[in-house]
Amino acid sequence: MPKDHLEFEKPLIELEDKIKELKQFMQEKDIDLTDEIERLKEKSERVKQEVYSELEPWQILKLARHAERPTTLDYINLICDDFIELHGDRNYGDDRALIGGIGKIGDQPLTIVGHQKGKSTKDNINRNFGMAHPEGYRKALRLMKQAEKFNRPILALINTPGAYPGIEAEERGQAEAIAKNMMEMARLKVPIIIIVTGEGGSGGALGIGVGDKIMMLEYTYYSVCSPEACAAILWKDASEAKTAAEALKLTAKDLLELGIVDEIINEPLGGAHKAFKESAELLKEAILTNLQEIQSFSISEMLEKRYDKFRQIGEYIEHSRIEVNDEQQDEVVNE
Amino acid sequence: MFKDWFGSKSKYVTVKRQKEKSKEKKKKKGKGKGKGKITDELWTKCKNCGEIIFNKKLAQNLKVCLECEYHFRLNSQERLNLLIDEDSFTEFGEELETVNPLEFPKYESKLKKYQEKTGLDEAVVTGEGQIGGHRVAIAVIDANFLMGSMNSVVGEKVTRVIETALNEELPLIIISGGGGGARMYEGMLSLMQMAKTSAALAKLDDAGQLFISVLTDPTYGGISASFASLGDIIIAEKEAKIGFAGPRVIKQTINKDLPSGFQTSEFQLEHGMVDKVVGRKEMKDVLVRILDIHSLRGEVNA
């Protein structure tokens, strides 16, 4: 079994191998096994449906991190009719872990920013595994402000384990870069669509994560911290990551329920890495539909909705005392 | 006069010291007696120079070491006492109760423990008061409560204090001191408070109002990567630890030792991330002067 197959894909791979075997056997020995093969194919399809409809958070996390998953540039190439990558933050450098540029889908111009992971180890080192430095966030902001100037909608594709934790990142103000982006994105006067296409790693994701619509692909996660880090802190044991992945409620489904994510974009059965084109089509459709909806509002309505969207996030109980009777208490539950 | 700001004596010191005490106790079991005595109710050992200081003296000196000027952490009450004019503080009355929205294991017991330990409901105190006669809206993040981490309630209260500043046209001051960043136990609900508070600050900024961010030890993660970094003026208290990623995480990632003085207030000043590093004793004075200058709203052009 090739190493890039995930543990839970095992029964599927075994079935597929068996089908292949039978086909070969049928040819070699000239025996009719068509019925048998059909039965196995049906079974394989059924198992696939079963496996993928009941994935646990930990398994989804594995899919989100899958090395063969389409990257930001893969999606851009598949959905855009034209795209020109633009480089640099004009202050320090060009971050290869967070890319951006201008392009179009049909007649719709767009500014796109997104984390970029590598395809191979070498490529990943070049891309710093999709972990951006401050100059990455500042480049994104420069391009987004440019989008505002030319009245172009913004698409942000999130796929990062997190913002890079290193000495230079600290020296150049990682915290400030992320904070500034959130503040500015809250008030940019053009539509902003956010899509998590793989890993939504904490502040590193949120640094390009404020917008009118937040969507997640089906097998992605978005989390306050990595389950490994969470486990190491809370249980002093990184191997508890599986438990942490469940506790953190980090899947698209969980976050839709919590009201943080607006929409889940389906992936082809087996995951985006199994069918790039089909996955990109689904992405494109979601982008265009949502863009149309956002563009139906006036700018002030759009900004108000964007503000309210974030303003209402948080769960707590509000007690408000009524002066007339000390024993009477009103409870307002914010959800 | 400083004495008055720090009302009752040993109470304040114990917050920090309880931890040390339990550590000392463990040590005592292993290595025999002796050292534990220093952490007697009356004394504190300076974490920096090892000087043993009489608690009363330490409180009088605003919890700054008399020997080496090491700044011990203040809790929110001490911080307010230090900065706000006497009897001018009114805490905002809303009562927001933290819940366990993700049903995260052991969250409730953690909360309860810190509520009992600190006497606070949550990791932030908000209200309005006067500083040198200037009315301000103010929030203080208390690092003693679950490491001053931001959850739904903290994010909501910070957002409300920003909104109050906006609605009542008050200067805003937020004193950050939280090493916990966005609080894990509330998952993405915590993380999104970074966006929520930053969006609220965008409105305050649009309205042309002043926001002074004061960074105290420690300011990290979701706190530093949101409102704490968005002040018009950012003041760091002397020798505070300030950064995005925690030093342990960085060390693990790069597999190298960190340079001395890394992520201190002075480091942030050197790298252009804060406007000014200020010692505790001068903090109020500096804030008053900034507020003063901003209160002079002369016409620029007719």
**Is the bond preceding residue B218 a cis peptide, omega within 30 degrees?**
yes
| Amino acid A47: pLDDT | 85
pTM of the model: 0.89
Which parts of B18-141 are beta strand (E)?
A: 43-45, 52-54, 90-91, 95-98, 124-131, 134-141
Q: Give residue A322's pLDDT.
A: 54
* A186 close to B (CB below 8 A): yes
State residue B40's pLDDT score. Answer: 60
SS3 B98: strand
Could B155 and A176 be called an inter-chain contact, meaning their C-beta atoms sit closer than 8 Å?
no
Q: What six digits make up the tokens of B52?
A: 């043993």
Give Cβ neighbours of residue A155 (< 8 Å, ≥ 6 apart): A110, A111, A112, A113, A114, A192, A193, A195, A287
Three-state DSSP class for B178?
A: strand
CA distance A226 to A61: 10
pLDDT of residue A233: 83
- State how far the Cα of B157 lies from the Cα of A298, in Å rounded to an integer: 30
| Ordered DSSP codes for B182-235 | B-GGGHHHHHHHHHHHHHHHHHHHHTT--EEEEEEEEE-HHHHTTGGG--SEEE
Backbone φ, ψ for residue A88 (5° rounding): 85, 150
Report the Cα–Cα distance between both ends of chain A, in Å, rounded: 46
Q: Which of A328, A315, A312, A325 is nearest to B97 (CA)?
A: A315
Residue B17 has pLDDT above 70, yes or no: no
**Contact status, residue B235 vs residue B273, Cβ threshold 8 Å:** no
A233 vs A288: CA distance, rounded Å: 41
Query: ipTM greater than 0.95, yes or no?
Result: no
Tokens at A298, concatenated: 């006036």
* A318 at B interface, C-beta within 8 A: yes
Query: Closest by alpha carbon to B160, among B201, B220, B101, B209?
Result: B201
Task: Using CA atoms of A183, B189, A226, A250 in order, give the dihedral in degrees to the nearest 10.
Answer: -120
Q: Tell me the shortest Cα–Cα distance from A170 to chain B, in angstroms.
A: 7
Which residues in chain A are closer than 8 Å to B181, comparing Cβ atoms?
A: 203
Whether residue B78 is predicted with pLDDT greater than 80 in this model: the reply is yes
Q: What integer pLDDT is reported at residue B203 of this predicted model?
A: 98
pLDDT value, residue A48: 84
> Do the Cβ atoms of A224 and B188 come within 8 Å?
yes
Query: How many Cβ contacts (< 8 angstroms) between chains A and B?
Result: 189
pLDDT tens-digit profile of B163-174? 999 999 999 999
Residue from B147, B213, B227, B229 to probe the interface with A (highest A Cβ count within 10 Å): B229
Task: Give the pLDDT of residue A2.
Answer: 45
Give residue A10's pLDDT.
82
The reply to whether residue A313 touches residue B192, judged by beta carbons under 8 angstroms, is yes
Residues of chain A with pLDDT under 50: 1-2, 324-328
pLDDT band, very low/low/confident/very high, at B300 (cuts 50, 70, 90):
low
Each residue of B139-161: pLDDT tens digit?
999 999 999 999 999 999 999 99
The residue among A210, A323, A225, A214 whose CA lies nearest residue A263 is A214
Which residue, among A134, A147, A265, has the nearest Cα to A203 in the 3D structure? A134
| Amino acid letter, residue A110 | L
Among A254, A253, A280, A251, smallest CA distance to A268 is for A280
Q: What is the pLDDT of residue A1?
A: 39
Does the pLDDT at position B128 exceed 70? yes
Q: Check if the beta carbon of residue A125 is closer than 8 Å to that of residue A91.
A: no
Q: Please tell me if residue A310 touches chain B, with a CB cutoff of 8 Å.
A: yes
pLDDT score recorded for residue B10: 36
Which chain A residues touch B244 with a CB distance below 8 Å? Answer: 163, 165, 169-170, 174-175, 178, 203
Q: What percent of chain B has pLDDT over 90?
A: 76
| Pairing relationship of beta strands A316-321 and B95-98 according to DSSP bridges | antiparallel
Looking at residue A7, the DSSP 8-state letter turns out to be: G
Above 90 in pLDDT, residue B117? yes
Q: Give the 3-state secondary structure of residue A24.
A: helix
Average pLDDT, chain B: 87
- CB proximity B42 to A under 8 Å: no
Q: Do A99 and A85 meet the contact criterion of CB atoms below 8 Å apart? A: yes
- Judged by CB atoms closer than 8 Å, whether chains meet at A203 and B205 is answered as no
Q: In angstroms, rounded to a whole number, what is the distance separating the alpha carbons of residues B273 and A169?
A: 12
Assign B225 a pLDDT band (cuts: 50, 70, 90).
very high
**What are the CA-CA distances from residue B215 to residues B29, B47, B229 (Å)?**
38, 20, 9
Q: For the residues B273-295, what does the mean pLDDT come to?
A: 97
